[in-house]
Structure 1
Amino acid sequence: MFLKKSTVKKNGKIYNYYHIAASYRDEAGRSRHRIIEHLGALSDEEAEERRKAIKELQQKQAAAGSRETAGSGNPAPLDGSRMFSAAFPVLIGMERLVYEPSFPAEWNVPHSDMLLFTASGTCTAYKSGRKWVLDENTVLFCPAGEGFHLAGGGAGQAVLYRAGFELAERQADGSLIRKNMERLPFGGIRPLQPQRVSRSLEQLFHTPAGLDALGGLHAQMLFYELISSVFMLEKPASQAGKGTVIERAAAYISTYYRDDLTREQLAETYGVSPEHFSRMFKKETGVSFTDYLTDVRMEEARRLLQLSGASIKSVAEQVGFRSEYYFSRKFKQREGMTPSEFIAKPKAYATLAPYFTSLLMWLEAMPRYGEIKDWMREYYAGRQGFEQFEPIVWGNEDSERKLADERPDLVICYADAVKLDKLYELAPVLAVDLDALTWQEQLRLVARAAGKEPEAEAWLADFMDRCCAAQSRLSAVIRPGETVAVYKIVSDELYVYGKLRSMGGPLVYDCLQLEPPPFVRSRIIGQGLLNEQVQPALLHQVDADHILLLHYPSRLFEDKEPLLESPFWKEQKAVRAGQVYELDNDLFYSYDPLSLEKQLVYLEKKLLS
């Protein structure tokens, strides 16, 4: 393990963001990094403490590993993790749904952990750029609060069953608490015995409602059988050991590549002779110790030359070279060009979210690969270089293969992207932390990485001027002192948005400077939150003069009373005054320049008409 740093300029100040990573060699023998934990912003002192802690841990592991190699003969301690968990699943509700062929995509956010079964037909689930085709052999697990799109996937009707459940965990005092299955990720599960799942599902669904205690116990037992059938996976293979001497040495190199590391030093650390260490290293990694160390240093240099803005001399020092000349010579041997040529050459970018793709296209830094929405693709189709652009969806095998073959100069994604460790195998990665940066700071960070910072600043200044003029025109509808709230209704739950990103918040509150209700200013914007879920009975606490509404209807949760028909909704000031404006969900989702430009035109037309 080692500490990896990313430098970000924010409000004129420099911040260092860190994560713990581990190194390994890919199939081609190249040194790669895998993210283990994101730490966020750290001071120099905190980072140094982390480095010392990691170094001490690795030294202890190295010493322990050497003793294990020699063989201590001591039995392993008993593993307490083999004890049975005290948590058990409790069924909340179940529903059968019938969808017509090729139904349009719906956005859903489950309120509890949920299993989605396909009894017949097919449909498709989408989340974070990944796609799951759901059929009779696949069950979709959806953790509470994680949104996803569900769409038709075949020519015939799709019959689905939705089962919502929670875990109940017994405490030391005998009481029960509810919790979610936090360790299981969103995704499709292919049970080993799908026929058994179908049988349990039918039995459970046809169990009469309103049973007595004994009947309820029977229903719960059927649900246990269903859960067991779904999560019954193949027996895992035996776990590997803690790593060979060379694997531990490789991890040490990836942590301390900046230091003057020698073969003799590492051989002594791991208790072998220098000659034996060299033979083992070449045998296990396919390259010599010196070449491995150089590869690790050059991979980090490649990233720093693109993202840090540091001088070549500074980059050389940061990756362990005392001589800038020697660093440049080694860099050219590996990359086929000098560091200066590498900085100046046109880059091949891969962007793993429509926001980043559209942002680069707007700034005329056309990515080679990227995820993009259809309406954005139509807009940019005539731009120079667009014919070389190829849409991808990160997470599917075809896209992964394309990026592995192309090996782009830079991959731009969010810090919570799926398979982030896989991306670090392919190329330098700019992982943008949504929670650490405002929408303007994200724009500047990506623009700086693409060498388009002046263009980004020019657009920002011009757009803010046009928003100021639009604000004056909107004053005919939104009078001084009146407030505006941004609502999103999904799965019949209501979320109130601030100004961080998405749902038009940046445009409404940052660009147009419209006044949020006190609730939004203090509870959401003031606390640096993206949004806050508000129960219908508490809507009077928001009670804005104008409501901008983004509504995502969902048939998965039609058993609830429609929020828009409730008395709590109808009692709001904006509803009574007829000042609720429903917006285009797709258009107001992002906050790239193209989206903001179109949102401004759309919102002004909507309000003034």
Structure 2
Amino acid sequence: MKIDRLEQDWSESPAPGQEQEDSFDPGRCYIRLRDVFIAEGASKLKLEQQLTETYALIVHLGGSGVLELGDRQVAMKKDHVYLIPPESTFGWSGDGSGELSAMVLRLDILEERAGLFAAASAERLDSAIALRKGIPVTPAGRLEKLCRAIHAHFNSKDRMKVWRAQIDCAELLYAAAAVHSERAVDTRQALERSKAYMEERYVEEITITQLAAIAELSPKYYVDLFKKTYGVSALDHLTKVRMEKAKHLMNQSERLLKDIAHEVGYTDPFYFSRKFKQTYGLSPSQYMKQRSRRVAVYGRTSILGYLLTLKVIPHAAPLHPMWSNLYFTKYGSDIPYHLHIARQKYQNSHNLDLVAQSKPELIITHRDLEPWERERLAGIAPIVELPDEKAGWKQGLLALGEALGEPSEARSWIASFESKIEREKKRLLESGVRPRVLTLKRVRHHFYLYRNQGMQDVLYDGLGVRSACEDMGVDRNIPISLEELDGIEADVVLLLICRDSETLAEWKKLQQSPSWMSLRMVRENKVCQIASEPWREYSPIALDRIVDEAMRIFTGKCP
């Protein structure tokens, strides 16, 4: 088979009547390295979560830190590799105890089936090599040497060395697969065992002596090490586990308070109530009253940015630490049913099942639903559809306030926001700052002039800044070259980089190129990179955050 057939054959299925084998066959596997980069030299290195469209092999070279995989965190260990499947998100952060260095290899893993090469599915590949879990590669030091050779060869102009990098990448994956079942046991894993015990046996009476025995450490050393590793004491972590379980029970059942206390390990309901209030700032009865309204969100995460202004936390909503980090972090434990940020049609069907399980009395959604989705939702509970974004967020918030019986809360929030933006506009004028702003987006190999409705509402209509491109309309994506960019007069350039692996890899290369560094806006330090959250979300909460971020950028001070 010619290599140039690979791209077109990835998504093809076996010929009719031919059976697929259940297990992954490494003997029919093909590896192609797409990109590789090393990040090192910072004591608190942080890589924000990004979406990978291919398999990603993350290699921990040195230091200590945490690998963030969606809503999970895994301790990074030296001489370990982590294989991340496509359509997943990953990032990492150092803990400050040493220089964290790591390498990311983006690769295609293809499998020959029925005479065709197709992308190996994560489910099949997991039988040969553990996905998302650290796999040790021995002997010590071999992994770093191999990885640095791959990095040097892949970036060489010598095509034979590039080929060598492809071969070494396959060797690295083989080494990880060869030790798939041989897991190294270290102190961090011992602590993880004790954490798992707390999360499984929280109903029982648990002592430090028990936990230390599980970790095979002395009680004193265990207490000190747990606090140093996780930033909280073991008993505080146990309390948090119990409180989170209690909130889950309150959200999903009509149990009595004393029964909930017993189910999370407290024999005295009054002591449980005191601990709950110490943790969350309100009593269990106040919390249950606040959560008595059962509302579900289906579709866009931005709907949460409307609901929360009305002090309503839904029972079901789409959440993800990459696309909705604020909502995931702050309210994730209060929302018992986490829906997918749907990227595939099958996820919509699963989301509908979760909405039904949450037994809502009302479902908040948007208007661009498929007919079958709307029909299914209508069979679960009454639907409230927010107006189209072009109608403006204020109309959407007022409509939602009416539907939830909170019209005064909606009007009050709008009035408060209008006062805030007028105050900040005045502050800009008084400081003599009325910048010409250029907003850009980078997707893969191209820049686009970009302005969405939120930018229009806050920057131009609200704060009254000037546009560096007056003829650019709202909600348009206009390709623009580096030469054209260099001819634009702008005081501030707001640049949004799409967080898929291909775009991030291309952006990393561009930043080091002479063509980028020679741009006047770059030389004069006018480019400010902004994040998708909140700049791409259109909701009251997001717009409020954009005001704060914009003022920090324009004046150097937050409101």
TM class, shorter-chain normalised?
A: 0.3 to 0.5
TM-score by length of 1: 0.44
Higher helix share: 2
What TM-score comes out, normalization by structure 2 length? 0.47
Query: Which has the higher Rg, Structure 1 or Structure 2?
Result: 1
RCO higher in structure (CA 8 A, sep ≥6): 1
